Structures are given as structure tokens and as C-alpha cells.
Amino acid sequence: MVPIIEQGCQMNLNVFGGQLSPATLNVFDSLVIMIMVPIIELIFTNLKKRGITLSLMLKIGIGLCFAGASVVVAAFVEKARKDSDLLTGAHSLSPCDDTIVMSSLSIWWQIPQFALIGLGEIFAAITCYELFYAEVPVRVRSVCQSINLLCTSFGSLMGAGVSSAFNSWVTENLNDGHLDDFFFVLAGLMAANVAIFSFVALGFKSRTFEPDVKDEGDS
């Protein structure tokens, strides 16, 4: 199970007389993307009119910073969850595991980390699609989009490897584990990632490729 969802399983899921699924808060990721994409696009358009243009590399870097901030927030939420009292009564058991008692800290405290994930996707993920389309020759755009998706897959594999390496920290009952420390480790890795990316991005030279005459005739 995804660590953020596991965290949600042991937070107070009691809402309006029922219990939320911890995966429900994923909607805030998508909601932030839907709301903020047109707003951010409007901001970028106005900045461009004033002669200020954010490079693709800068946008991706900002996205990585948002992603790093999300795990930092998750770490502090986990610390607060572990420090909070356990629930008592008929609705105190987690719907994920009826042998585990939920903490009193509300599940709504997870909203900021999901919102930051959404902002990270806007700046990093969406910009990567633009990068692999606008900054490559027309004839290989489809191939480059495939490479973009392949890189995403590699990231997922690396994430799975990190999770496996620290598996003992994420116990069945999070009150006995070190999920907060795991999130701080992820934050450290993200900081290193941002530093390496920034160094590489300094040598990036933007190029624009236009369709040649033959390409236009074939289309």
C-alpha cells in the first residue's frame, strides 16, 4: 500500500456519521490540477506580456520542489498523528484493518500534501510532456514521448526499491514504526534530486524545431 494511504488508514476517518476511505483524498490531487492549470497558465501569459518567461527547466525544478515539500508535510503530519490520542468508542477502528485503532488527528490534514503533489505534477509532469514535444525534431516526437513515459516507469521502479529498503520502518501498525522518518528520507532524496537536476539544467540549451517542407506536405 502507498505510504500516504497507509498514513490515512490510521487517521480519524469518521465524517458525517460514516467513515471515509483514505484513498478518497486522492481527489484533491486531481482537483488542484483542474483548478490551478488555467490559473497558472493565465499567470504565465501575463508574465510573458511583461517580458518574463519561465524556462521549461525552471518549471520542472519548481515542480520537483513542490514534490519534495509534499513529503516534508507528510512527515510532520505523521509526527502529529503519532502524538495525538487514539480514538475510543464504536467507530475507533480503522476500516483498513479492524485490529488497529485510529488516531484522533483528522484525515483532512492530508489535504495539503495532496495539493502539493498536484502542483508538482502541473509544473513537472505536464512540462515534461512539453519538453519532449517542443524541444525535439518533429520526426521523433512520438518516440521521445515514449522515452518520457519510460523515464516515469524508471522513477516508479526506483521508488519501489526505496520503499523496499525501508520496509521495516513502515510497520503494520504505524504507531510502532517510523513512517515519519521514512518521509524525511524521501525529502532528503528529493533535495538531492533537485540539486542534481539544477546542475544538469544549467547546461541545457533550448531549441525549437519546425516542420520541414516535406513534413508539411505529408500531413
Give the span between the Cα atoms of 74 and 67, in whole angstroms.
11
pTM, two decimal places:
0.87
| 33-77 residue pLDDT tens | 999 999 999 999 999 999 998 999 999 999 999 999 999 999 999
Q: Is residue 184 part of a domain?
A: no
Determine which of 104-108, 160-164, 213-217 has the lowest per-residue pLDDT on average: 213-217
Q: Is residue 153 part of a domain?
A: yes
- How many domains would you assign to the chain? 1
Q: Is residue 217 part of a domain?
A: no
| 139-164 residue pLDDT tens | 888 999 999 899 889 988 998 899 89
Give the other-Cβ count within 10 Å of 91's Cβ.
14
Q: Is residue 196 part of a domain?
A: no
- Domain extent at residue 124: 3-179
Q: Is residue 212 part of a domain?
A: no
Give the span between the Cα atoms of 109 and 100, in whole angstroms.
20
Mean residue pLDDT of the chain comes to: 90
Place of cell 501575463: 46
Q: Is residue 120 part of a domain?
A: yes
Flag whether pLDDT at 216 surpasses 60. Answer: no
Specify the pLDDT at position 219.
44
Q: Is residue 205 part of a domain?
A: no
Q: Is residue 123 part of a domain?
A: yes
